[in-house]
């Protein structure tokens, strides 16, 4: 029994739960009006600045993390989440991983609402880009490790290609949300740090990460959404 419990604790089960939750929400949306209908997206809590500002619907900064627009959207995001989640959850551990994921998702949705207030946005990609940001933090902190260095270089190329494709006309990609998730995920990773079994992060970097994260959210909320 202890053997199976230890295997369960080591498995990236939070990643699996997130994938399952997204698939369930996608299925329910499909049954209740579709995943490409603007009306249904708004009904399910998509990111839409006017409703956040005028009606105080703050859940719209969380719900979009679990909402997807069409089959291609959820398929690409869930494949990406499955593979990067398997790596990062083993590095950070379960609770650190979910904290980074949610902070990045919310941060990305705030950025989307601030810089594209007329758009109806949704998707786990804000949180997924936050995971990319978290790996960049690992790369910066443990650059001397050859494996980490190679993986970080790969992620940097992947991030650049994804952001570049977001500038293609009618791509449907939310680069503001992606960048917001990337930066907040990077800072959130410093804030929660890594387990001692992985290594040590300077406490000054951790403090700076918290200060910058709070400052960005404060500025975005007070001079962005309500500015």
Active-site hit among 112, 141, 178, 193: 178
Catalytic site residue 178?
yes
- Burial-class residue 173 by CB neighbours within 10 Å (0-12, 13-18, 19+): middle
Residue 52 to residue 117: CA distance in whole angstroms: 10
- Tell me the CB-side half-sphere exposure of residue 187, using CA atoms within 13 A: 21
Catalytic site residue 94?
no
**What b/e sequence results for 149-170 when a residue is b if at least 16 CB atoms lie within 10 Å of its CB, and e otherwise?**
eeebeebeeebeebeeebeeee
Active-site hit among 68, 112, 125, 193: 125
Q: Which two tokens stand for residue 137?
A: 């933090």
Return the SS3 of 98. Answer: helix
Of residues 194, 188, 181, the one with CA closest to residue 105: 181
Q: What share of the chain is helix, strand, coil (3-state, %, to 5)?
A: 75, 0, 25
Give the residue numbers annotated as catalytic, written as ranges.
125, 178
């Amino acid at each position: 029994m202890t053997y199976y419990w230890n295997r369960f604790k080591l498995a990236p089960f939070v990643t699996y739960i997130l994938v399952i939750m997204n698939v369930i929400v996608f299925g329910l949306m499909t049954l209740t009006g579709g995943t490409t209908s603007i009306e249904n997206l708004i009904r399910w809590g998509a990111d839409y600045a006017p409703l956040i500002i005028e009606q105080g619907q703050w859940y719209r900064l969380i719900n979009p993390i679990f909402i997807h627009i069409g089959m291609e959207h959820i398929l690409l995001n869930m494949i990406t989440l499955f593979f990067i989640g398997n790596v990062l959850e083993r590095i950070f551990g379960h609770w650190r991983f979910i904290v980074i994921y949610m902070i990045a998702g919310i941060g990305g949705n705030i950025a989307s609402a601030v810089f594209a207030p007329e758009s109806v946005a949704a998707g786990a990609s804000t949180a997924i880009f936050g995971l990319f940001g978290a790996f960049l933090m690992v790369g910066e902190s443990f650059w001397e490790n050859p494996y980490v260095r190679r993986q970080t270089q790969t992620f940097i190329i992947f991030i650049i290609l994804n952001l570049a494709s977001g500038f293609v006309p009618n791509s449907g990609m939310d680069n503001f949300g992606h960048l917001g998730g990337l930066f907040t995920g990077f800072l959130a990773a410093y804030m929660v740090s890594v387990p001692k079994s992985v290594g040590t992060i300077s406490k000054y970097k951790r403090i700076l990460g918290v200060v910058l994260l709070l400052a960005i959210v404060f500025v975005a909320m007070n001079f962005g959404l309500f500015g």
